[in-house]
Structure 1
Amino acid sequence: MTGYADDLALAHRLADAADAISTARFRALDLRVESKPDLTPVSDADTAVEREIRALLAEHRPADGLLGEEYGATPAEGTRQWVVDPIDGTKNFVRGVPIWATLIALLEQGRPVVGLVSAPALGRRWWAAQGGGAYAGPDVTRGAAIRVSGVAKLADASLCYSSLAGWEENGRLAPVLQLMRDTWRSRAYGDFYGYMLLAEGALDVMIEPELSLWDVAALVPIVTEAGGTFTDLAGRAAPAGTETSAVASNGRLHSDILDRLGQPAAH
């Protein structure tokens, strides 16, 4: 039994509360959507979910810190910090695309030790705690262990990536395009979903050039507990700061992917 079992159980309770709010607002005719200063959308569902999670954590883990995408950080009394993305995939959410999720993570001394991803419109949830394995299912009572693939050759691999515009801005568009040519299949599933498909063994590599801590913290324990490898583009254990990049793989392909992505081209 993992030492974080109680925290993982709490994460499921937080996700249950989040799902009740987000599913009620999904495709709602009166959904309110605004633009944040970075011009990304935020809906009333994003803010309502985060407020509810904050209230529950204040009740059940008052000494822990919290970082949320919509309302920022509250300090911790110790070394524990919860990290929450109330709706990852807000652009999908506001357009009625069902690929979105609430991401909940617990960090201990800056390292993710618990991760949960709940995608109620897909009827799917993924979770993991350090040392306890990774699981997926409709809910916690019907979860099954998941594992990354055993694919060992890039020519046999399924590659998932974020938008090509982001890789162009990063200066690595050429090697990403070459990766797409060299792999068996490439698709841009986006946001959390590619990482969860990787953890389940449905694809083999997921890459993104730029992420915030709340985008990635919950994903790391799930991928690594499923047997995968998760680093930034420099090969450092992710997340490597509040802003990071991501290379996630089944492990066997990881060094090859990092070598191929290499250094960004000069502008």
Structure 2
Amino acid sequence: MPVSAADRLLAERLADVAGEAIRPFFRSTYAQEIKADRSPVTEADRAAEAAMRRLLDAEAPGDGVVGEEYGEKPGVTGRRWVLDPIDGTRSFTAGRAIFGTLIALVEGDWPVMGLIDQPVQRERWIGVAGRPTLFNGVPARTRACAALDGVLLATTSPHLFRGEEVEAYMRLALAVAGGNLRQGPVYGGDCYNYGLLAIGTLDLVCEAGLQLYDYAALAPVVEGAGGRFCDWQGDPVSATGSGQVLAIGDPARVDDVLAALHG
């Protein structure tokens, strides 16, 4: 089923209600807990997801919902809304406005619409399969890169890689830095990095260990801006992906990135 104007409007309304729930807590006082995986969850995370779920219950009751904080609600339409109320909760708790709300519409196993919203800076990216990505209503575009050496690489944290992933990431980091990691990657940013890639201020994002709610919204945004969103083998990322993802601003550099990653 093609993404409709009503679907897109609903995604924007979901971002609006999430932002209204989040902004009062930013750099303020709120309850916070540490989950079993040692990641933080705050009153703002839960308030934002609850607000989005209430709207979906009213506007799309037959659709499934998958959220980081409140799990999965099965649907009957073959469509799922995938929600991450605050992607980058550590940045949120540190008062850094580089977190974001992620909203995706998934049909079958494939994301067909994705939205990244930074509610403090009022920045919003929305991508729909087969259409140009918009950044605050204006078409977004990734930038061309003549070579892998010199591209600007970002990842949330090198500590999130495990085992052989560490060696693969370091090969990639050295390749883009020309062997000098003093001019190395940008760290921090979570979903915000993918938005920056879509407007051409970053060139490459490499991450692993992501869950569906972390990455479902990203592919339509990146690809609608002219980039490539794939796994570490260069294949499209579905809802059953491994959690290893690459966002490459210039598709001409895909083979270079894979060669560096895998040695």
Q: TM-score, normalised by structure 2?
A: 0.91
* CA deviation after TM superposition for structure 1 residue 70, in Å: 0.4
Instruction: Give the number of equivalent residue pairs.
Output: 256
Letter in 1 for 2:252: R
Indicate conservation of the 8 Å contact 2:148/2:176, yes or no. no
Q: Let me know the Cα RMSD of the aligned residues.
A: 1.8
Aligned-partner SS, 2:209? strand
Residue matched to 2:209: 210
Indicate conservation of the 8 Å contact 2:153/2:173, yes or no. no
Residue matched to 1:92: 91
Indicate conservation of the 8 Å contact 1:213/1:243, yes or no. no
Q: Aligned equivalents of 1:229 and 1:22: distance in 2? A: 31
Q: Aligned equivalents of 2:15 and 2:187: distance in 1? A: 26
- Relative distance call for 1:168 and 1:37 in structure 2 (3 A) is closer
Indicate conservation of the 8 Å contact 1:126/1:134, yes or no. yes
Q: Between 59-68 and 250-259, report the one with greater CA deviation.
A: 250-259
Q: Between 199-208 and 159-168, report the one with greater CA deviation.
A: 159-168
Letter in 1 for 2:192: Y
Letter in 2 for 1:23: R
Residue 235 in structure 1 maps to residue 239 in structure 2: no
Letter in 2 for 1:187: V
Indicate conservation of the 8 Å contact 1:8/1:128, yes or no. no
Q: TM-score, normalised by structure 1?
A: 0.90
> How high is the sequence identity, in percent, across the aligned residues?
37
* CA deviation after TM superposition for structure 1 residue 94, in Å: 1.2
Residue 154 in structure 1 maps to residue 148 in structure 2: yes
Runs of 4+, deviation exceeding 6 Å: none
Residue 178 in structure 1 maps to residue 174 in structure 2: yes
Give structure 1 stretches of 5+ with no counterpart: 138-142
Residue matched to 1:249: 248
Q: Aligned equivalents of 1:22 and 1:162: distance in 2? A: 21
Alignment of 1:1-267 (within 5 A): 3-29=3-29, 31-137=30-136, 143-167=137-161, 169=163, 170-171=165-166, 172-182=168-178, 186-239=185-238, 241=240, 243-250=242-249, 251-262=251-262
Indicate conservation of the 8 Å contact 2:149/2:176, yes or no. no
* CA deviation after TM superposition for structure 1 residue 182, in Å: 2.5
Q: Aligned equivalents of 2:230 and 2:155: distance in 1? A: 15
